[in-house]
Structures are given as structure tokens and as C-alpha cells.
Amino acid sequence: MMKTDNRQDQAARNTITIDGQEIPFQHGQTIIDAALEAGIYIPHLCHRSGLSPHGSCRLCMVDIVDRKETLGDSDRRREGKIQEETRSRSVAACTMPATAGQWIRNNTPELNEARKVITQMLFTEGNHICPSCEHSGNCTLQAVAYYLGMLDGHFPPFFPRRDLDASHPTVMLDRDRCILCELCVRASREADGKNMFAIAGRGTRARLIVNSASGMLADSDIEMHDLAVHVCPVGAILIKEQGYRVPIGQRTFDLHQVEEIDLGKTIPPEMGQK
């Protein structure tokens, strides 16, 4: 870990600093991709390296801080007071490009508390009954909740009624658990070249729809090797006849914390490779 306080030096080096750790970035890279590449975890649900950014879950919010620390001592005296950090603004790390010299706060109690509240909202606006969900233990939403120390849903649950689509022989869609992250939408368009999914409706009526004549998976071109099927961070898109092959207690997030896992590698390499 390099240590620097000098913004100009940093600009020259094409680096950004996250929670005091200086890391490099490539031109055009977002803050989150630079961070993940450097092994810094920023909580996220709707982001997946390689797919276009979406910026919808807001879990990756970080603070970009304007600092006066770069001022020399004489300048400070002229100001009459020493101000370490002046303004800060919150941005989504998955949509904000990294630019040289950015000073970023990520793993702070305030941001993590806000992220926890967002996660609680995601739980309460859907039907997330983990003990009855096949994805439990492999679910990124659940793992992020663990990371943030979420113990309860806090808000009055919505208990929404949402349609289940079990019409397809191998792929199933349980909208109760969909968090509308559009990862499947983007994976289908950008990786599978199929455009199988979209979000319809707004607000509490927003829902995932299937692009087929009947609106059912059975009539669609979806196949179980599509990236769209595997990219779902929750238990909304499931593959049939594979349930509980890995028992509860031995799954990815039973054995690892979410920040230790490269989420891109949890998808078998042959998926979405066409």
C-alpha cells in the first residue's frame, strides 16, 4: 500500500485512493472495477464486471471527498482554520468513472448503515423467506446482508403477490425474490445476444417480464447455459432439477464472506460463452 497525501503526485500516477489505500486504475474504468481489481470490496448487487453499468441498487454508494489537506502550511494559515475534508458527495461506484486523484470513502460506519437500510428495503419489498429458498447460502443479497450485519427487515413487510413462472423444462423464474437489478436483462442482451428479459411497470408495480409471445419462459428461447440464467444474484432465476445438490451449510457464503469471493467466478466458465 502506497501512502500519499499529494493530489498532484496522484494525478500524475493515475491512481485513486479508497479509505487511505492508493490504487491504480485504467482509463475508462469505473471506481468499483478499479477497487475490485485491487482487492477492495465495495458492496454491490446490480454490478457485474463485463456487463454495462446499471446503477440501480445503490449499495455501491461511496463518498468522493474534496480535501484541503493538499494545501501547504502557509496556505492553511491564510485560511485561518485547518479543514481536513471539505465537501463530499455520494456517488454510485459502479457508474462513476475513476479519475486521477479521487479521494474516496467506502468502508465507513455511515455508508455501511445506509447500505444496510437499503438492503432491509430490498428484503421487505419482496418475499425473502430464506429457509424456503433454494438459493440460500449462494445468494449475494443474503451475503451482503451478513456483511452489513443486518439482523431484521426493520420495515413493515410488503408481502407482495408476484407471479411465478415454472413453465419451462429447465429454467424457473420466481419473481418473489427478484430485486429488479436487471443483471439478467443485460446478460441476455450483451452476452447471450437474446434479449430475453425486461423490466415493465414502475415503482411497486415494476416487475420482470419475459420476451416471448405468451410472456412465459416456456415459449422463450432461454436455455440453461445462458449467462442470464446464472447471473441472477438472488434466487429469482433457478435451474430445475439441481436443487440442494450442495447442501445448506456447505455453500459459497456458508464457507466464505462476500468480500472474499470474486462473484464473476461463481458462474461456471462454460456459461454464456457462445
Q: Is 146 in the site for another protein (CB under 8 A)?
A: yes
Residues in the chain: 274
Could you tell me which stretch among 19-27, 107-115, 133-141, 157-165 binds ligand SF4 (CB under 6 A)? 133-141
For ligand SF4, give the closer residue by CB, 129 or 200.
Answer: 129
For another protein, give the closer residue by CB, 111 or 271.
Answer: 111
Beta bridge partners of 173: 165, 237
Residue 128 to residue 135: CA distance in whole angstroms: 11
For ligand SF4, give the closer residue by CB, 182 or 192.
Answer: 182
Q: Report the site for another protein in 162-181 (rule: CB under 8 A).
A: 176
Q: Is 229 in the site for ligand FES (CB under 6 A)?
A: no
Q: Between 105 and 144, how does the x/- string for binding to another protein read (CB under 8 A)?
A: ------------------xx--xxxxxxx--xx----x--
Q: Is 147 in the site for another protein (CB under 8 A)?
A: yes
For ligand SF4, give the closer residue by CB, 43 or 101.
Answer: 43
Q: DSSP characters for 103-160? A: EEE-S-HHHHHHHHHHHHHHHHHTT--GGG-TTTTT-HHHHHHHHTT--S--SPP---
Strands 15-18, 103-105: pairing is parallel
What are the phi and psi torsion angles at 230 (to 5°)?
-95, -15
Out of ligand SF4, ligand FES, another protein, none, which partner does residue 47 contact, by CB within 5 to 8 A per kind?
ligand FES
Out of ligand FES, another protein, ligand SF4, none, which partner does residue 243 contact, by CB within 5 to 8 A per kind?
none
Give least dist CB 12 to ligand SF4, A: 40
C-beta of residue 164 within 8 angstroms of C-beta of residue 174: yes
CA distances from 105 to 39, 131, 148, 185 (A): 15, 35, 16, 31
Residue 57 to residue 118: CA distance in whole angstroms: 8
The owner of cell 464472506 is: 257
Residue 270 to residue 223: CA distance in whole angstroms: 13
Q: Binding residue for ligand FES (CB under 6 A) from 9, 37, 55, 100?
A: 55
Out of ligand FES, ligand SF4, another protein, none, which partner does residue 159 contact, by CB within 5 to 8 A per kind?
another protein
Q: Binding residue for ligand FES (CB under 6 A) from 51, 59, 133, 236?
A: 59
Strand arrangement of the beta sheet that strand 171-174 belongs to: 164-165, 171-174, 237-239
- Which residues of the chain form contacts with ligand FES (CB under 6 A)? 44-47, 55-60, 92, 94
Which residues lie near ligand SF4 (CB under 6 A)?
128-130, 133, 135-136, 139, 141-142, 177-184, 208, 231-232, 234-237
